[in-house]
Structure 1
Amino acid sequence: MNIEAAREALFGDAIASEDARPLSLLPALPEGRQRAALARGEALMRALALVDEARADEPEDSGADPALRRLEAKVDLLVGLVGALIQRDQPADPVRRLHWSSRGASVVLDADDDAPIVGDAVVLRLQPSDTLPEALQLPAHVLAIETIEGAPRAWLRFDPLPPNLEALLERHLFRLHRRAVAERRRQR
């Protein structure tokens, strides 16, 4: 598949986001482990949706109960500490440029990485948010590879995702897109 066809297949009329996130490409997982990873991914995306949407509903200067604000701050601190403990024992994925939708992703790899081959089954492991430092593992197939300034860019189509996970991923990407638009407006 050529690059333009891959771009259209992944991002044509889909909500997409461009970002720099900790991520890596891994070999495909066995079916049982992949099902478990997708179930954990759905739980992660559901938790992110609850956290992000709860914060969006309440402006910073609202008259929320101070005790509730303190409790939320303590929970945020606890989540951050647990995330730091989890990451301490695992090597951190490098932060890489990513353009993604609920259909797939375009990932720029390092020049010294072993680039996958078109048709390879892979897993895109990425940390979708700084709020909860846990990785999402999405099964994919490589549609195309191109070289940009000496570095490979992999075009990945996600394998069929469970409907709930796909919907949660679309909501997450919509929130990211909405924030990016709002940030651009503020900078004008």
Structure 2
Amino acid sequence: MSSQNAVTGLVYSDNIALSWKPVDYEPEQTHLAMVNASNESFLRAVSAVGDGLNTKDDSDAPPGIQQDIARLDLKLNLVLDLVSALVYHELDIPPVSAVQVSAEQVSWQGEGPPAGARIFLELYIQRGLPKPLCCYGEVVTTPEEQAAGRNTVRFVGLTGAARVWLEKLIFRHHRREVAFRRAHVGD
């Protein structure tokens, strides 16, 4: 990546589905507010699903209740996985690409829009959930990046709580990545 488009801060890197389409208008502030509200709600749900069962010792709850909650959590996760698998087969989910997401921008390898274009992005950031994070962006890909098949889009209008929840998601993925690497250092 060029220094102009270098990502600062934490980055969420994964193979996820991504789609984009060009837009020939600048979204109005009221529309961006609705998109941000929808994204905030979605990212809160992703956080709740991603966190799963709280494994901290709760001394107020009897052990039997903790086990019951753990079993219910596993059953609910299984149902969500099965329903998501069925829905994925019915929807037209785009192909998976190597994607990097920060709080400011998204980058991916593959086909992309021309530099300077304004686009609408759909990022399927949570495996098992067939709902995307939707946002607008401006293509800031350099000619060198474009020649290498790399695309960089800076988010437009992603603000407030939606941005905060995206930062939390990125941090949670980063923390898990670090824990995974530490666990597999001796392998």
* Structure 1: stretches of 5+ with no match in the other structure: none
Cross-structure match for 2:50: 52
Cα distance change, pair 35–84 in 1 and its aligned pair in 2 (3 A): farther
Distance 1:77 1:45 in 2: 21
The number of residues matched between the two structures is: 175
Cross-structure match for 1:42: 40
The structure with the largest alpha-carbon Rg is 2
Where does 1:66-145 land on structure 2 (aligned, <5 Å)? 66-109=67-110, 113=111, 115-145=112-142
Q: Structure 1 residue 78: deviation in Å?
A: 2.6
Answer with 41-50 or 77-86: which moved more: 77-86
Please say if residues 146 and 152 of structure 1, whose CA atoms lie closer than 8 Å, have aligned partners that are also in contact.
no
Cα distance change, pair 175–125 in 1 and its aligned pair in 2 (3 A): same
* Structure 2: stretches of 5+ with no match in the other structure: 57-62
- Say whether residues 1:26 and 2:24 are aligned partners: no
Cα distance change, pair 95–147 in 1 and its aligned pair in 2 (3 A): farther
Cα distance change, pair 177–47 in 1 and its aligned pair in 2 (3 A): same
Q: Normalising by the residue count of structure 1, what TM-score does the alignment of the two structures yield?
A: 0.79
Following TM superposition, where does structure 1 have runs of at least 4 consecutive aligned residues deviating by more than 3 angstroms?
Answer: 28-38, 145-151
Q: Structure 1 residue 158: deviation in Å?
A: 0.4
Distance 1:169 1:155 in 2: 17
Cα distance change, pair 84–36 in 1 and its aligned pair in 2 (3 A): farther
Question: What is the one-letter code of the residue matched to 1:40?
Answer: S
Please say if residues 43 and 162 of structure 2, whose CA atoms lie closer than 8 Å, have aligned partners that are also in contact.
yes
Please say if residues 104 and 158 of structure 1, whose CA atoms lie closer than 8 Å, have aligned partners that are also in contact.
yes
Cα distance change, pair 17–4 in 1 and its aligned pair in 2 (3 A): same
Q: Percent identity?
A: 27
